[in-house]
Amino acid sequence: MHSQPCTSGPSENAVRITRVADGQWHALEDDLVVGRGYAGHRGDGRLFVSVDAWHHAAFDRLAEAMAAELPAPLYTVVDEADVEQTAGWRRAGFRIRRREWEYDVPTDPRLTGLEAVVPPPGVAIVPVGRADEALLRAVDRAIRDEVGATVGWHSMPAEVIPHPAGDTVVDPSKYAVAAGPDRYLGLIRVVKVKRPRIGLVAVRAGERRRGIARALLAHALGTLHRAGSATAWAEVQESNQAASALFASIGARPVSSNLELVR
């Protein structure tokens, strides 16, 4: 544990930065904690940092200390509406890498237009929690390998990046799948916390443009509607035009955005 003094700040007292644990820093002023910094690796190995501080001086000193002690590149995610925090990271040398939109998604099939949607011939939807675990893991791995060989998982939301061990299906009970005669062709993950979240919709490369993704959405959203949920939410990277068009076509609307920044 060590400290770094700083004479700049809103008062005459110095802001002192202390590393209190592995990946944790405190900003102290008159022995009062006025800010906290955190660092940790995500599933793909990238190092993400965050700061919660009372004022600009504490934020800047924490960001400076963390950047000096941690290996580059460093990443962080902020709500785009939080102008002050975004500006703080920009002062620390971070630049905007990508933007993700959060969509509010209706579940009522009369609003989504998915009421009459059915899977294409030869495809059946296996409901949430009923998928064969081995086949589920096989289609998940196949899709992730396809993405990794094209746009790369670095372009995907952090929440769906594969773990180092390669096992990315943490809870099979959260998935519904589109089943072909001898394998699964696509999947959708639905997570329920405060309100339902569509965490991932994906289809094998050779099976796209057949309506499988719409059929998976129709099943998942219809199930949520019957269970009493009026809306769900989903995150879509701004550059993913196909996903943006899919959600726009069912009446989803963007309500907020997050920025991923990198130094």
Model pLDDT for residues 225-256, shown as the tens digit of each residue: 999 999 999 988 888 888 889 999 999 999 99
* pLDDT confidence tier of residue 133, bands split at 50, 70 and 90: very high
pLDDT, greater one: 89 or 147: 89
Mean per-residue pLDDT, 28-43 = 90
Q: What is the DSSP letter of 134?
A: H
Arithmetic mean of pLDDT over the chain: 87
pLDDT of residue 157: 52
166: left (phi over 0), alpha (psi -120 to 50) or beta: left
Distance CA 156, CA 153 (A): 5
Query: Rounded to a whole number, what is the distance in angstroms from the first to the last CA of the chain?
Result: 25
**Are residues 185 and 207 in contact, defined by beta-carbon separation less than 8 angstroms?**
yes
Mean per-residue pLDDT, 29-53 = 90
| Alpha-carbon distance values, 75 to 81, 168, 235 (Å) | 18, 22, 18
Burial 115-139 (b: 16+ CB within 10 A, else e): eebebeeebebbebeebeeebbbeb
| Alpha-carbon distance values, 105 to 201, 214, 252, 259 (Å) | 14, 13, 4, 21
Is pLDDT above 60 for 151?
A: no
Distance CA 139, CA 223 (A): 22
pLDDT of residue 200: 85
Query: Residue 29: is it exposed, middle or buried by C-beta count within 10 angstroms (0-12/13-18/19+)?
Result: buried
pLDDT of residue 2: 45
Q: Of 205, 219, 190, 249, which Cα lies nearest the Cα of 119?
A: 219
Distance CA 189, CA 230 (A): 18
User: Domains of the chain by range and CATH?
Assistant: 3-93 (3.40.630), 101-257 (3.40.630.30)
